[in-house]
């Protein structure tokens, strides 16, 4: 069944825009493996360094007018990695949640997770649910962490639920339009991203927020994720303010 923002207690997405700032930034945190390899260390060393960066970037959001931050932590394709790396990442997510809960609370961060939880370990999903519940009243920053997330998978799951509503007579197929499908997406309470950043020099979007980023601005930067700083984040947010977003229209 589709959810409305009201049902889920989301923020009023139109009331929190700071002029010239990206309200919603989405980040593909790439380059942890190369960062570790450059130092002769195992890939997981890079992921641990990457997790530390997350704290600094989340903390800096209010300074740059960023109300929503969505980060790509594990894709539906990342299961193809070695069992050691996958298990290490899952353990890192559990550790991150356990260690960061207090700090996130103190900073007024509301945490949400997107992605298909079915394949995730029950210990991890329990922690995810608890963190979502514990931070549900916070509203300073909205942090969304994508775990076992893929844009195509998300659209497929959304379409399945939409089709179920049609079959149950709850939705008229004739009424389905561009506003209908987003209500079935994992991101139904979030505004679309204004700015998508990918670190590590790769210029592709790798199945991240495919529907939601239709009109996002993109920044592909060479910095490897564990080297990404608050200063660089600030520069990218400031340069977003100079972009001319026309959404297919003409400048007025
Ligand atoms: C891509 O770099 C990164 C990932 C698949 C994992 C992202 C995870 C983190 C940044 C750390 C944990 C996050 C949280 C929320 C605790 P890569 O491994 O593909 O790097 P490479 O392209 O250099 O090999």
Whichever domain contains 44, its CATH number is 3.40.1180.10
Question: Is position 75 within any domain?
Answer: yes
Q: For ligand 1, is residue 45 a contact (CB within 6 Å)?
A: no
Question: How many domains does the chain fold into?
Answer: 1
Ligand 1 lined by 115 (C-beta under 6 Å): no
Residue 101 lies inside a defined structural domain of this protein: yes
Q: Which of 42, 143, 225 to mutate to test the pocket of ligand 1 (most atoms within 8 A of CB)?
A: 225
- pTM of the predicted model over 0.85: yes
Contacts of 25 (CB under 8 A, 6+ apart): 61, 66, 68, 69, 70, 193, 194, 195, 196, 197, 237
Examine residue 3 and state whether it is found in any structural domain, yes or no: no
User: Is 90 inside any structural domain?
Assistant: yes
Q: Is 65 part of a structural domain of the chain?
A: yes
Contacts of 52 (CB under 8 A, 6+ apart): 226
Residue 126 lies in domain: 21-240
For ligand 1, whether the C-beta of 127 sits within 6 Å is: no
Q: What kind and span of H or E run contains 124?
A: helix 122-134
> Ligand 1 pocket: which of 26, 28, 31, 32 to mutate (most atoms <8 Å of CB)?
32
**251, part of any domain:** no
Does residue 161 fall inside a structural domain? Answer: yes
Average pLDDT, the chain: 93
Q: Is the pLDDT of residue 197 over 60?
A: yes
**Per the domain annotation, does 1 fall within a domain?**
no
Query: 29: Cβ below 6 Å to ligand 1?
Result: yes
Q: How confident is the model at residue 25 (pLDDT cuts 50, 70, 90)?
A: very high
Burial 106-138, CB ≥16 within 10 A → b, else e? ebebbbbbbbbbeebeeebeebbeebeebbeeb
Q: Quick one: pLDDT band at residue 13, thresholds 50, 70, 90?
A: very low
pLDDT of 94 > 70? The answer is yes
> Which residue's CA lies nearest to atom 10 of ligand 1?
50
């Amino acid at each position: 069944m589709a959810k409305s923002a009201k049902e889920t207690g989301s923020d009023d997405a139109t009331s929190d825009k700071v002029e010239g700032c990206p309200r919603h930034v989405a980040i593909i945190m790439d380059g942890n493996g190369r960062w570790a390899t450059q130092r002769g260390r195992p890939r997981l060393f890079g992921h641990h360094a990457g997790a530390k960066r997350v704290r600094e970037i989340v903390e800096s959001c209010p300074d740059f007018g960023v109300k929503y931050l969505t980060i790509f932590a594990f894709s539906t394709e990342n299961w193809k990695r070695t069992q050691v790396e996958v298990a290490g990442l899952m353990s890192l997510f559990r550790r991150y949640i356990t260690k960061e809960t207090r700090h996130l609370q103190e900073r007024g961060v509301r945490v949400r997770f997107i992605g298909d939880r079915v394949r995730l370990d029950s210990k991890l999903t329990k922690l995810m649910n608890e963190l979502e519940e514990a931070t549900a009243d916070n509203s300073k920053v909205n942090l969304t962490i994508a775990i076992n997330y893929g844009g195509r998978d998300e659209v497929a799951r959304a379409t399945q639920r939409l089709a179920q509503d049609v079959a149950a007579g709850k939705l008229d197929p004739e009424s389905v339009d561009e506003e209908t499908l987003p209500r079935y997406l994992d991101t139904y309470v979030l505004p679309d991203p204004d700015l998508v950043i990918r670190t590590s020099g790769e210029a592709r979007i790798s199945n991240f927020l495919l529907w939601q980023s239709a009109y996002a601005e993109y920044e592909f930067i060479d910095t490897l994720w564990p080297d990404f700083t608050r200063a660089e984040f600030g520069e990218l947010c400031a340069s977003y303010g100079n972009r001319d977003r026309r959404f297919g229209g003409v400048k007025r």
